[in-house]
Amino acid sequence: MSSTHGGRPPAVDKALAWPGVQALIDCHGRNLVLDALRAGLQQWREGHIGDEQTLVAEVQASIEQVLAPAFKPVFNLTGTVIHTNLGRAPLPPEAINAIAAVASGASNLEYDLHSGQRGDRDAHVEDWICRLTGAEAATVVNNNAAAVLLVLNALALRREVIVSRGELIEIGGSFRLPDIMARAGCKLHEVGSTNRTHGHDYADAISSRTALLLKAHTSNYVVQGFTRSLSEAELATIAHQHDLPLVVDLGSGSLIDMQRLGLPFEPVVREVLAQGVDVVTFSGDKLLGGPQAGIIAGRADLISRIRKSPLKRALRCDKLTLAALSAVLRLYANPDTLAQRIPALRLLSRSQTDIEQTVAALLTPLTSWAGDPIAVDACEVLSQIGSGSQPLDRLPSAALRLRSQHTNKRARSRQLRELARQLRQLPVPVIGRIADDSLLLDCRCVEEPQALATQWLNHRFNAEPLA
Ligand SMILES: *Cc1c(COP(=O)(O)O)cnc(C)c1O
């Protein structure tokens, strides 16, 4: 690049004394300003900057960039409602208020206000989990992967765990049941085949080394065709005949019947426990609609052993999670209002007509953002629940569709990727998905289109960005 200004830059000490730089130091501290100033002086040396005013403006801009939050809200227009990479379940206001109430000061996190003695942090959620699931006892850890690890470690250390080959699951992000089992210090005893496992497979595998039977909900895939797996009730019978516990990893674990909301069937925790299952584990931020957490519920004697494990201490939840979870559980007191009050359930049960209205409201703002070279229209799409829930079931939804007018397929594809990129660069990034030669923006998760509309009206797609 050509040099617009000649000359050597000022010495660092001299530039530090400039009033503009001093004002930045007062505001942001010396370290940050010094780093930015050195970078600015380097640009001066290379000929891109040549005067005090430009240098100060450059230093200020670079400090603002460093200080801008990197972790921020986005618009989830991917069509996957409980999207692990986008933070899973949105929290209801009750949970956010509960977090705020305990975040800034002391609380009775592990303090019994009645006796004045040390208390247990599980006390804030255990009664509600039991009430909603019928379990005798419950405990909570950081996430469901931690819950599985803890249960296996506490109940089956150095012993065998029997699992069907059809359930050796891998959840995204390197959660593989055989690996978790090894880390938990137990030995995996696989039985049956990928598609068929019978009762005698389990019974034959049981020995004096067996600690428990494990069933994992195959949440992100389906084994179809010539298949056989045992129900929880059948497995519980076999386990109990041998005086062993049956543990079920439910994954999503719904507290209510999803079909009542017009959604695909998902196992209900209470019904699973009622079939004789001794311990279940499930996530707090999947279908439950709460914060990231792993809930362990079941027989009191087993929960007590799990709670005493040193791993429980390492995997426990913080006060913010417990505050949010306890607020969300209380919303389940009234099942009739859940579909409205729990955002994840509200979004999942939104009607296509309602989503179409959001799409209609956003069509003009998006057309204005995209400009002439891009064709924008509305179309029908299918959303997904996400996080492994019912992978084959789709929810009828509506989307904004952007298409490139190029005749060349590669040029179209490049332009779609550029559209997606510039949507991600907006102040509140917009995340869509590219499919069928279009960029689709599924509006299921947009409940208040105004902020999105304003953002599109205030910015423009740059069809020919600088290389
Ligand atoms: C999602 C899932 C997990 C992991 O739960 P996290 O809350 O993501 O840690 C474990 N098992 C099953 C069956 C799951 O679906």
8-state DSSP, 167: G
Residue percentage of the chain with pLDDT more than 70: 96
CA nearest ligand 1 atom 11, residue: 251
Instruction: Check pocket membership of 171 for ligand 1, CB cut-off 6 A.
Output: yes
Model pLDDT for residues 285-324, shown as the tens digit of each residue: 999 999 999 999 999 999 999 999 999 999 999 999 999 9
CA nearest ligand 1 atom 7, residue: 144
Please check whether residue 144 is in contact with residue 175, taking contact to mean a CB–CB distance below 8 angstroms.
no
pLDDT mean over 194-218: 92
Kindly state if the Cβ of 281 falls inside 6 Å of ligand 1: no
281 alpha carbon – ligand 1 mean position (Å): 9
Give the C-alpha separation, 292 to 88, whole Å. 8
CB-based contacts of 372, cutoff 8 Å, min separation 6:
none
Q: What is the pLDDT of residue 206?
A: 97
Q: How confident is the model at residue 463 (pLDDT cuts 50, 70, 90)?
A: confident
- Ligand 1 centroid–CA 134 distance in Å is 22
249 pairs with which residues across the strands? 216, 281
Kindly report the pTM of this predicted structure.
0.93
Residue 395 Cβ < 6 Å to ligand 1 = no
Q: Is 197 helix (H, G, I), strand (E, B) or coil?
A: coil
Q: Which atom of ligand 1 is nearest to the CA of 216?
A: 13
Per-residue model confidence (pLDDT) at position 97: 98
HSE-CB at 158 with a 13 A cutoff on CA atoms is: 0
Q: What is the pLDDT of residue 4?
A: 47
For residue 218, the CA-to-ligand 1 centroid distance in Å is: 10
For residue 66, the one-letter residue type is: V
Q: Burial, 161: exposed, middle or buried (Cβ in 10 Å; 0-12, 13-18, 19+)?
A: buried
450 close to 358: Cβ distance less than 8 angstroms: no
Ligand 1 probe mutation, 163, 164, 175, most atoms within 8 A of CB = 175
Ligand 1 atom index nearest CA of 219:
15
Regarding beta strands 137-141 and 175-176, do their DSSP bridges make them parallel or antiparallel, or are they unpaired?
unpaired
Which tens digit of pLDDT belongs to each residue from 328-366? 999 999 999 999 999 999 999 999 999 999 999 999 999
Alpha carbon of 142 to ligand 1 centroid (Å): 11
Contact 349, 263 (CB under 8 A): yes
Contact 419, 64 (CB under 8 A): no
Question: Of residues 186 and 226, which shows the higher confidence score?
Answer: 186
Tokens, residue 263: 């959604």
Question: From the CB of 167, is ligand 1 less than 6 Å away?
Answer: no
385 Cα–ligand 1 center, Å = 14
Residue-level pLDDT at 129: 98
Distance CA 462, CA 61 (A): 22
In this predicted structure, what is the pLDDT of residue 36? Answer: 97
Spacing of C-alpha 140 from chain mean position: 17
Q: In 10 A of CB 262, how many CB atoms? A: 11
> Atom of ligand 1 at shortest distance to CA of 84?
8
Q: Is 290 in the pocket of ligand 1 (CB under 6 A)?
A: no
Output the six-digit token pair for 177: 């049941």
pLDDT band at residue 466 under the 50/70/90 scheme: low
130-156: per-residue pLDDT in tens?
Answer: 999 999 999 999 999 999 999 999 999
